[in-house]
Amino acid sequence: MSGRPAGLLAPEDLADAWSFSRAEEFWDLYRPYTPYGKDERDERRVHSDRAAIEELLDRTEAAAAWLDSTREDPAARDRAGYYLKRMPRLPSSVKAEYELAEIFQVKKFLADYQGLRTALDETARDAFGLGLAAPDLAAELGKGGSDPETFFVSDAYDPALAEVRMSIARTDADLEAARSAAETRLAARHGVRLSGRDFALVPRAQAEALLADRDLAVVEPYDDRLYLVRPAADARILGLRDLRDELAARERKLEDDVIRRLSGLIASALPEIRAASERTRDFDLALARARLARDLGLVRPDLSAEGDWELTAGRFLPCEVECGDLGLAYTPLSARFGKPVTTIFGSNMGGKTVALKTVLFFQVLAQAGFHVPAASFRTRVYARLSYVGELAGERLAGLSGFGFEIHRFIRAWEGMGEGGCLAVFDEFARTTSSREAEALLSAAQAELAARPGVKSFFATHFRGLVRSPGVDYLRMRGLDRKAASECLEADAPRAERLARINRHMRYELEPDAEGPGPADALTVAALLGLPGEIVKKAEGMLR
C-alpha cells in the first residue's frame, strides 16, 4: 500500500465489488486526454473520504459549467481538447543535466499549458488554479525551436555556438563541393555516374581503367564480375573531415554548456511546473467527468445520508445498454433502503441480482467521485465496499463453492471496521441445503443488523428466513402473468417465448409479506411448455 494516497479503498478489497457491479464498463467511458489524467484514471481510485469526493464533484461541476458556457463556441472546447491531448510527460526528478528530449518535454508542456489557458475563460482558469507557469523559463526555452512545440539547442543561446556552426556549415559546404567535384571527375574521365550513390558496382573493364587513376577512386573487388568503386578522399578532403570533427567537438561542448544552463533553470522551476501539471490533470479529469455527466444525464450524488440509501430512477447503465441492444425495455430502479439490512426475494430472471448490482454500481460511482445516472441518489461514504457471491466466469458449486463463499464472507466480515461497510450478498449459501442455508442467512442478517455502520443487501430465493427487526424484506414484483399468458402463442419458438416473458417481468421492488410468495417459476415453466399435469401437481403441492 506504500505510495497510495490515504482515503482510498484498497484495490484488493474492492476487486470483487468492482467486478460484480460492472463498474469497468462505466470506466471505459471515462476518457481524460493528458498522460497524467490517464495515469490517474488507470488507478481506478475509489475514495473513503467524503471531503475528497465532494471536491471531485465540485470540480466536475466547475468543468461542466465551462462546457455549458462554450455551447455557442464549440471551437473553444476543441482548442482546450487539442492542447490537453498534446501534453507530454514531464521529467520526474531534478537533474544537473537533462537530456535534449527532457528539455523538449518541458518546453512543449509549457507551450501547451499556455495554449490551454488561452482556450479557457477566466472563471475556469480561476476554478482550477490554472495561472501562469514558469513564464521566464518558457521564454528562454522559446529561443530553441522553429515551433513552440519543438526544441533544439539554437544559436540564440550562445554567440559562440552561432560562430562554430557557421564554420561547420562552411566545412560541410566545402566537403560537399569536394564530393561533387570528385563525382564529376569520375563521370567525365571514366563514365561512372554515381548520381547520389555513395558507391557503385562497375564491370571489370571500367574498374581496370580506374585502377590507373588511384587518386580519383578506391576500387575493390566485389565478385568475379564486378568491382566496387567509391570516390577517393584526397588530402584536402581528409583535412576538411578532421576540421569537421574538431568543430563538432567544440560545438558539442558549447551545446552541453547550454543544456546545463537550461537544466538549472528547469530544476529551479520544476516544483512550479509539476504544480501546473497537477492542476492540468485535475482539470482534464474534471472535464472528462463533466463530459460524461452531460452526455449521460448524470446528477450529483448526495453523500449526507446517515444510514439511508435512496435511489430514484437509477439506471444501471450496463444493463440499460444490453436491454437496448436486445430491444427490451429497461426499468430504472427506485428504492429507499432505510434499515441496516435489506433482503430482496424474487424468482429466477426476476431481476434481484440486477438490483444488487445497481446498488453497488451507484455506490462505487459515487465514491469514485462521479455524478450518477439517476434522478436522485442519496447515500453515505463507506470505508469498505464488499461483495460476497459468484463472479462472472465463476461457477461456485459443491463443497469447494461453499468454501469459497464462506471465505469471501469472512473477509467481508473482518473488514467491517471503522468507517462503515456496504456489503452485498448475492444468493449467499445457495450451494448448501435450503434448511441450513436459511439458518445461516437468518443468523448472518441478524448479526449484520446489529453491527454499527454496516449496510448490507441480500438477494436470495430462500423464503424460510427467520425475520429480524433490523431487516427490510422486499421482493421483485416479478412476472405479470396475465399479460405474459395473453401474448404467448402456443406454437411460438422457445427463444421468442423467453423474450416475451422477459418483457412482462416487472423489475420493481415491493414489500414482501411472510408466506410462500408468488410461484413465478411454475408460471414460467408452464409458459415455456412444461406439461400441464406436472405444473398442476406442483401448484397443488405448494398449496
Partner 1 sequence: MLDRAEDFLGRVTFVTGPEKHCGKTTFLNRALSLVRAAGERPAFLSIGYDGEARDSLSAARKPSVPVSPGDVVISAERFLRDGRILPEILEILPGSSAFGRICAARARRPGRIVLVGPEGNEGVARALAFLRDEGVARTVLVDGAINRITQAASWPGARFVFVLRADAASLDKSARQARRLSSLASLPAAPPGFGSGEGEHILDGPLTAATAGALPDTARAVAVEDFTKVFLDDGELRSFRTGRELLVKAPVECAGIVAVLRGVSRPAFLSRLDGETAARIAFNPYELSPEAAA
- What is the contact surface with partner 1 in residues (CB under 8 A)? 88-89, 99-101, 104-105, 145-146, 149-153, 165, 168-169, 172, 176, 191-193, 196-203, 206, 222-226, 228, 248, 252
**CB-based contact 426:20 (threshold 8 Å):** yes
State phi, psi for 34 to the nearest 5 degrees: -80, 160
State phi, psi for 78 to the nearest 5 degrees: -60, -40
Compute CA distances 438 → 427, 432, 447, whole Å. Answer: 11, 10, 14
Cell, residue 284: 482534464
Closer of 28 and 224 to partner 1 (Cβ):
224
Closer of 29 and 101 to partner 1 (Cβ):
101
Question: Whole-number minimum distance, CB 112 to partner 1, in Å?
Answer: 12
Question: Whole-number minimum distance, CB 84 to partner 1, in Å?
Answer: 16
Cβ neighbours of residue 377 closer than 8 Å, sequence gap 6 or more: 299, 301, 302, 310, 311, 312, 314, 362, 366
Give dist(CA 431, CA 410) in Å, integer: 17
Question: Whole-number minimum distance, CB 224 to partner 1, in Å?
Answer: 6
H helix or E strand, kind and range, residue 478: strand 471-479
Give dist(CA 312, CA 316) in Å, integer: 12
Question: 3-class secondary structure for 56-110?
Answer: HHHHHHHHHHHHHHCCCCHHHHHHHHHHHHHCCCCCCCCCCCCCHHHHHHHHHHH
Question: Whole-number minimum distance, CB 88 to partner 1, in Å?
Answer: 7
From the list 41, 76, 532, the residue with the least C-alpha distance to 289 is 41
Question: Whole-number minimum distance, CB 534 to partner 1, in Å?
Answer: 41
Cell, residue 198: 555513395
Closer of 224 and 295 to partner 1 (Cβ):
224
Closer of 96 and 513 to partner 1 (Cβ):
96
Compute CA distances 365 → 53, 62, 369, 411, whole Å. Answer: 10, 19, 6, 23
Closer of 223 and 325 to partner 1 (Cβ):
223
Closer of 195 and 433 to partner 1 (Cβ):
195
Question: Whole-number minimum distance, CB 117 to partner 1, in Å?
Answer: 22
Question: Whole-number minimum distance, CB 181 to partner 1, in Å?
Answer: 17
Cell, residue 7: 482515503
Question: Whole-number minimum distance, CB 89 to partner 1, in Å?
Answer: 8
**CB-based contact 367:47 (threshold 8 Å):** yes
**CB-based contact 329:503 (threshold 8 Å):** yes
From the list 204, 197, 205, 202, the residue with the least C-alpha distance to 228 is 202
Q: Where does 297-351 have alpha helices with state H? A: 317-326
Question: Whole-number minimum distance, CB 285 to partner 1, in Å?
Answer: 21
Question: Whole-number minimum distance, CB 191 to partner 1, in Å?
Answer: 6
Cβ neighbours of residue 364 closer than 8 Å, sequence gap 6 or more: 14, 17, 18, 21, 23, 46, 385
Cell, residue 386: 464488499
Closer of 86 and 411 to partner 1 (Cβ):
86
Closer of 105 and 342 to partner 1 (Cβ):
105
Cell, residue 154: 539554437
Give dist(CA 286, CA 88) in Å, integer: 19
Question: Whole-number minimum distance, CB 193 to partner 1, in Å?
Answer: 6
Closer of 144 and 373 to partner 1 (Cβ):
144
Question: Whole-number minimum distance, CB 6 to partner 1, in Å?
Answer: 31
Closer of 164 and 287 to partner 1 (Cβ):
164
Q: 398-404 contacts: CB < 8 A, separation 24 or more? A: 398/431, 401/431, 402/429, 402/431, 402/432
Closer of 94 and 101 to partner 1 (Cβ):
101
Closer of 2 and 92 to partner 1 (Cβ):
92
Question: Whole-number minimum distance, CB 214 to partner 1, in Å?
Answer: 19
**CB-based contact 388:306 (threshold 8 Å):** no
From the list 137, 89, 132, 82, the residue with the least C-alpha distance to 112 is 82
Closer of 52 and 84 to partner 1 (Cβ):
84
